[in-house]
Chain A
Amino acid sequence: MTDLILTPNINRADDFYAELLAIHEGLSKDDSDALNARLILILANHIGDRDVLSQAVHAAALTD
């Protein structure tokens, strides 16, 4: 089973974060929410691995 990566893994992390903020700029709350939802689905499809996705879903819940 592949483990979900929960250590730093993004190149130029500040650039990514700025890009994420920029794409939401000027959007209404509803449009931003929809964009986030689409982004989740696109990333999930890219990952594909069901085990990794399950780990991610649980990690995001912050229940541990």
Chain B
Amino acid sequence: MNKIFEVPLYPYEHSPDQDAAAPVRHPVVIIGAGPIGLGMGIDLAQQGVKVVILDDNDKVSFGSRAICFAKRPLEILDRLGCGQAMVDKGVEWDVGKVFFDDREVYKFELQPEQGHERPAFINLQQYYFEEYLVNRVRELEAGGAPIEIRGGSKVTAIGTHPDHATLEIDTPDGSYNIEADWLVACDGAGSPTRQMLGLDFVGRVFEDNFLIADVIMEADFPSERWFWFDPPFNRGQSALLHKQPDGVWRIDLQLGWDIDKEEEKKPENVIPRLKAMLGDDVEFELEWVSIYTFQCRRMEKFRHGRVLFAGDAAHQVSPFGARGANSGLQDTDNLGWKLKLVIEGKAGEHLLDSYDIERIHGADENILNSTRSTDFITPKSEMSRLLRDSVLDLAEHYEFARPLVNSGRLSVPCTYDGSPLNSADALDGPMRTRPGSSCPDAPLGDEFLLRKLGNKFTLLTIDADAPDSIEEDGVTVERLALSVKDDRTGALKDRYLGHAPSAVYLIRPDQHVAARRPSFDESLFRAAIRRATGKE
């Protein structure tokens, strides 16, 4: 079968920069054309910021890799203009089963909150995800947006300076140098950029290996998520079965740390395990097998002068809860608008320090959640195993124990509590929309709220007066006027008003709440805009 990950999507081409007499200076250079680098590039380019994306490869990622994309990243992808393609191709599951030892302990149905355009998550192979992002880059290029992917271009040296970075790039035509006002490293967990700059990657370290197999089932197999704790076919470890598009099933077998990777990957060792897992009578074809190693850790700081780190390059978590690619995309969501304001001279460099603060907060939350899942899945002591097994035994008999079963807590957007960009909460409104929160979606007739927010600052008024637009020190804020009279489902009131009769929200270009009050007050909102752009 001809797979998209076998096709060069951005083959090496000679760049005019290679013939320039002196190194050409670019406003933004991104290293890495994975999900995070591409997302970063699209975000900046569609807002008119010129970007060059460098990658040493020329294809999308090999094999399925990241396969679960949560609601918030899908909303970010909508803002980037490619959410629909992902949702159309992706699959959803709503029944999950939990197994312990050799028995089914319980079964559950997902009941996501209503009134959101996007589902709680979709399953989609990373190679499709990247392909759709590359398609979006091509669409932007065709429309004249300043974005370029340079494949077959490996960064071999980086120099850092107070107002720029220099890069040496190795290509099939030899090497050349360029300069970047801003460099964004999205080059993955093993980040060569991080290594070239000699920066730390610290934190509590868990070492684990996963055998990942993509399997094509030949007969009908239920669209359910199955998770095994300590199954007979993988003693002392876990296993996960997930559906992907194209009749492909993803199987993750935890292997522990001291293993022989080459031995484990051999089909004669993989196939018997899969048969034990799926049952002897299930016919399947093994499409792809890989061993994935992870650690849980992060960089101490994500901003190092003119070099910014995003995604796995900045932080790495266990796969439980799908917090890798999902959180990386939220990094770029946070960084894009700040970088644009700084490049345009509408905010000081200081604003970028809030990227560090906010996304380190996000990374720590992800590491905490994924650490707790890891502790449940792989107990570290005799007592922790006893408690874990007791939770599973009780879950078979009593409903109360089921929420304690932790096979990964699905990635939800982080609230930037305590961020220096937030103004004090002045509304007696719902907790979920306090300053720092990412805006929850809500239906507005045939449309959805989030489609009307983002890429710029918005003044969202609900049954409150305010000017149609305000400009504060180069930053323009436009009003979006809504009323509970148009809120047929009650979701807007429920999510944005609570008991308050009216509200005015200042919403950032990344759809996070910066400030909220019961009514418009010009001087207070001007102060909130200055604060949200790092000026107070």
- Residues of A near any B CB (own CB < 8 A): 33-34, 37-38, 41-42, 45
Q: Which residues of B contact A41 (CB under 8 A)?
A: 387, 390-391, 394, 401, 404
B406-446 to A contact mask, C-beta < 8 Å, 1/0: 00000000000000000000000000000000000000000
Number of interface residues of B (CB under 8 A): 11
Q: Are A33 and B391 in contact (CB under 8 A)?
A: no
Judge if B386 is at the interface, Cβ distance under 8 Å: yes
State the majority secondary structure of interface residues on B.
Answer: helix
Q: Are A42 and B394 in contact (CB under 8 A)?
A: yes
Contact of A45 among B386, B387, B389, B401 (CB under 8 A): B401
Q: Are A34 and B394 in contact (CB under 8 A)?
A: no
Q: Are A37 and B390 in contact (CB under 8 A)?
A: yes
CA distance A38 to B394 in the complex (A): 7
Total number of residue pairs linking A and B with CB closer than 8 Å: 23
CA distance A33 to B383 in the complex (A): 9
Contact of A34 among B390, B398, B400, B401 (CB under 8 A): B390
Q: A41-B390, A41-B401 are in contact. List 19 more A-B contacts (CB 8 A).
A: A33-B386, A34-B386, A34-B389, A34-B390, A34-B393, A37-B386, A37-B387, A37-B389, A38-B390, A38-B393, A38-B394, A41-B387, A41-B391, A41-B394, A41-B404, A42-B394, A42-B398, A42-B400, A45-B401
> What's the nearest-Cβ distance from chain A to residue B168, in Å?
55
Q: Which residues of B contact A34 (CB under 8 A)?
A: 386, 389-390, 393
- Which residue in chain A gives the minimum CB-CB distance to B382? A33
> What's the nearest-Cβ distance from chain A to residue B443, in Å?
34
Among A33, A34, A38, A42, find the residue whose CB has the most chain B CB atoms closer than 10 A. Answer: A38
Q: Which residues of A contact B404 (CB under 8 A)?
A: 41
- Which residue in chain A gives the minimum CB-CB distance to B404? A41
- B window 370-408: CB within 8 A of A: 386-387, 389-391, 393-394, 398, 400-401, 404
CA distance A38 to B404 in the complex (A): 13
CA distance A37 to B382 in the complex (A): 12
CA distance A41 to B394 in the complex (A): 9
- Which residue in chain A gives the minimum CB-CB distance to B391? A41
Q: Which residues of A contact B393 (CB under 8 A)?
A: 34, 38
CA distance A33 to B393 in the complex (A): 13
23 pairs across A/B with beta carbons < 8 Å? Answer: A33-B386, A34-B386, A34-B389, A34-B390, A34-B393, A37-B386, A37-B387, A37-B389, A37-B390, A38-B390, A38-B393, A38-B394, A41-B387, A41-B390, A41-B391, A41-B394, A41-B401, A41-B404, A42-B394, A42-B398, A42-B400, A45-B400, A45-B401
